Amino acid sequence: MLQVVQAYDRAPITEIETDDEAALERKLQAAQQIFANRDAWLKPHQRIAILRKLAGLMEARRDHFAMQIAREGGKPLPDAIVETNRAIDGVHNAADELRNLAGREIPMGLSAAADGRWAFTTKEPIGIVAAISAFNHPLNLIVHQVAPAIATGCPVIVKPAGTTPLSCLDFVKLVHEAGLPEAWCQSFVPAETALAEKLATDPRIAFLSFIGSAKVGWYLHSKLAPGARSALEHGGVAPAIVDKSARLDAIIEPLVKGGYYHAGQVCVSTQRIYVHDSIVNDFTERLVARVKSLRTGDPTLKDTEVGPLITPKEADRVASWIDEAVKGGAKLLTGGRRLSETTLEPAVLVDPAPEARISREEIFGPAVAIYRFRELDDAIARANSLPVSFQSSIFAQDIDVALRAANRLEASAVMINDPTSFRVDWMPFAGRRVSGYGTGGIPYTMHDMTQDKMILLKRP
């Protein structure tokens, strides 16, 4: 049995049964059998109808999902409501995208050998999908992995994070209630971590969707069966550059949201802020004032802005990184104090050493670091100096500065006057270098979960 607790106060929520190796084999066999039977494949209009009904069922349980996200994951209730709304919209997005998922004509007759032929491609589901998810968006991440599989006709076995399984299990129940036969979408809560690896690397798996640590993701990627595809979504140490032309009264709020949303437990959370020397003092004063006013505490309360970290161990780690930075010469201007077993006051550090962990590794906690610069290209070089690369920001009113930074920042997306954490669910979302492999976003995932088949007709 797995005990699920509230992130904030560690109070028990419930216990759930776990799956052993025999259960995994049953689930893999069920997925394999239904996919092998082409007569059992659901037509696109049937999949659309299931997804539409699923979205309606989720809508009816919106408040339940939001509170559950707040309890098991520790995300403040207002943000949990936003996550639930995004998840519902994501299911609609997968259904909508089926209208655009199509093959194309391949030109023939361009050479004598190709004359008298007609060719076109069709889209087919790639096969069984293994989806391994993370705790920080316990409903919306599941939707990003499962809804594309349903839409494209791939059987999917989804493993939620062990700390936040309840939203996933409830979602899968609604998938079945919406009319999808069980073998097409199965949850998997392993009794031991090794079984997650066994799922991901099984030769029957055609596609691995992994959201989590780079160490685990790249390891699983190296163990995939021949021919299996993967999409890996890891973390970054997201940089934001604040030019001297930036409007300070307009940028503090988005930067605070970018750095402290879900207590910094977001893969594109703003962590490093490079501020022009001429405005750094004014900027720092304003940022610290706003961070001090953040309402930190119980995530189930409607006015909470920053909740807990997912476990006491994570709170210990983040606190130790802050302490290390201070011992290495950084100034701690606010925060860092332990408020509960899992909750830390949001912290602002100034000028940590380059070798400090907060300067080079993803803290995944409520802390940001400020660094000063004089030349834009120096700030860009420092922002690009790490092996991780995901989303970045440039805050500037000078269009030349904004476009120069956007052109030179090593990132999959550069936000101009928006935080690094900005995302809508239909845009491409991808880590570069160590930060990931492939492209997320529902339409892009649907493309990856299909494969082209060319059909050629020789005319009489």
- Which residues are designated catalytic? 233, 267
How many angstroms separate the CA atoms of 26 and 248, rounded? 58
How many angstroms separate the CA atoms of 342 and 157, rounded? 31
Query: Which tokens is 354 given?
Result: 């380059």
Query: Which tokens is 111 given?
Result: 């050479």
Q: Of 437, 351, 423, 356, which is closest to residue 389 (Cα–Cα)?
A: 437
Q: How many residues does the chain have?
A: 460
CA-based end-to-end distance of the chain = 65
Residue 39 is which amino acid?
Answer: D
Query: Which tokens is 343 given?
Result: 């909750």
* 8 A C-beta contact, residue 413 and residue 401: no
Q: Of 302, 290, 300, which is closest to residue 346 (Cα–Cα)?
A: 290
Q: Of 237, 305, 293, 254, which is closest to residue 74 (Cα–Cα)?
A: 305
Strand duo 205-211 + 229-233: pairing = parallel
Query: Which tokens is 247 given?
Result: 């409007």
How many angstroms separate the CA atoms of 75 and 80, rounded? 6
DSSP result, 133-173: --SSSTTHHHHHHHHHHHHHT--EEEE--TTS-HHHHHHHH
Element of type H or E holding 442: helix 442-448
